[in-house]
Structure 1
Amino acid sequence: MAKKSAPARKPNAAFMKPVTPDAALAAVVGSKPLPRTELTKKLWDYIKKNGLQNPKAKTEIIADDKLKAVFNGKAKVSMFEMTKLVSGHVSS
């Protein structure tokens, strides 16, 4: 008897639905609507390009002026906290 292969995993529709960044977040990732996955990718590109990841603790993000606006004025946040803070700056 042939073994059944697992069905291909479908991406979660909520992550693929475009969201619109507010003015603070748009300064970092651009203002056009984009899926959360793409938004997160652009955010990480910005962080890496500007050397904002703490070299001693890779999960810590050191905010520059643009990111401080997104991080509610905090100078540094963990990457897990960043995800939560970014959610407050998008609208569906």
Structure 2
Amino acid sequence: MVLFPQSGSFSGQCARSIPSSVLKLSWQLRRRQKHLPQPPPASLPLSPQAPNRTSGIFKVTPVSPTMCQFLGVSEASRTDAVKKIWDYIKLNSLQNPANKREIRCDEKLKTIFDGKETVGFLEIGKLLSPHFVKTN
């Protein structure tokens, strides 16, 4: 009986003389081996580490005085600023009930959003850009 290691199958003439129960067991064994958890490659670390998120929208940068007054901090990341703005919107029920994509600005939000009465939720990121001071 010859077993090819790369294919896991029996060779021609010998395969005909092997009982079908043995062939069935070999196929079941191969199927189970496919579903076993594989060890991680040696190049990957064994313990998961949190990715370093200090660039892009996660980078903490100085904010404008009006944004500083709204957030209560002098430096913030874009994600933190958007989260705090959404918390304020939800807390004060400033979303238009008929159109949830529209935000009705009160006096505090108007200082951040260039005095607009209503703002679409996709506009928030664009309207916040001037409030983040670019650093090199």
Q: TM-score, normalised by structure 1?
A: 0.79
Which residue in 2 is equivalent to 1:48?
Answer: 90
- On the 8 A contact 1:15/1:36 being kept in 2, the answer is yes
Structure 1 residue runs of 5 or longer lacking an equivalent are 5-9
Matched residues in 2 for 1:73 and 1:40: separation?
Answer: 18
Which residue in 2 is equivalent to 1:70?
Answer: 112
Matched residues in 2 for 1:42 and 1:12: separation?
Answer: 19
Matched residues in 1 for 2:54 and 2:63: separation?
Answer: 20
Pairwise CA distance, 1:23: 2.2
Find the residue that maps to 1:77 and give its secondary structure: strand
The higher relative CO (CA closer than 8 Å, separation ≥ 6) is in 1
Once superposed, which parts of structure 1, at least 4 consecutive aligned residues long, lie more than 3 Å away?
A: none
Q: Percent identity?
A: 37
- On the 8 A contact 2:54/2:60 being kept in 1, the answer is no
- On the 8 A contact 1:52/1:61 being kept in 2, the answer is yes
Which residue in 2 is equivalent to 1:15?
Answer: 57
Residue of 10, 20, 30 corresponding to 2:72? 30
Structure showing greater radius of gyration is 2
Aligned length: 91
Q: TM-score, normalised by structure 2?
A: 0.56
> Whose strand proportion is higher, 1 or 2?
1
